[in-house]
Amino acid sequence: MNQKFIYASIMGVLILAGCASKVEYIDQKDSKSYSSIGLDQHDIEDAASKSVQSLLQSGYVKNLATAKKPKVLAISDVVNDTMQNFSTEELTRKITRDMRNSGKFILTMAISGSGGSTDKMIAQARDARKNDEFNQYTVQEKGTLIAPELSLSGKIVQRNTKVGSKQRVDYFFLLSLTDIKTGLVVWDDEVNIIKLGKNKSVAW
């Protein structure tokens, strides 16, 4: 039989199989029904919510009540020490969003560690100082960037334990807020999420 015909037939079957498969949308309120032993959106949202609550209720933040302006915050390194591949910025952005909404913090995108990201346009716009095609009166002056006062850093740790015929997976979300000027930790918190599943379940 002609090889081209065989190839075309196989591709046709695969395309039909793909068309026949049904993709479903899951409502947010029902999505917990499809949870796995790995970390999912609900876990990250839960960890972020609990961490922010702990921070906003801390003595450090309460003492900021009389502050005239919000503290400038930078996201430092947040290490993903689990067997799953996900961006730690999913966690830090949720946390810093609530921190900014409190009115006591403001986030800089000019500098960050692995737990966040920088806005490349900040540096690129300043490169325009070297380009005669730009009106130099419209280019940002030197010394206008605001340096951060606080640094948010952390680590996410995973621990797997066999419990009889089941597998227990412990996730630890460890976060710290550091005063950059003094190097002192002004707040830290730990959120634990524990899941139990079949022993053959793999958390990655």
**Running along the chain, 204 residues long, what does each successive block of 10 average in pLDDT?**
54 55 67 74 94 96 88 97 92 96 96 96 94 94 96 96 89 98 98 87 56
Range of the domain at 55: 38-131+147-152+176-190
For 175, residues 6+ apart whose C-beta sits below 8 A from its C-beta are 51, 78, 95, 152, 153, 154, 188, 189, 190, 191
The tally of domains found in the chain comes to 1
Task: Indicate whether 7 belongs to any domain.
Answer: no
Query: With a threshold of 0.85, does the pTM exceed it?
Result: no
Task: Indicate whether 18 belongs to any domain.
Answer: no
In the prediction, which pLDDT does 117 show? 94
Task: Indicate whether 32 belongs to any domain.
Answer: no
Task: Indicate whether 162 belongs to any domain.
Answer: no
Task: Indicate whether 24 belongs to any domain.
Answer: no
Task: Indicate whether 54 belongs to any domain.
Answer: yes
Task: Indicate whether 84 belongs to any domain.
Answer: yes
Task: Indicate whether 105 belongs to any domain.
Answer: yes
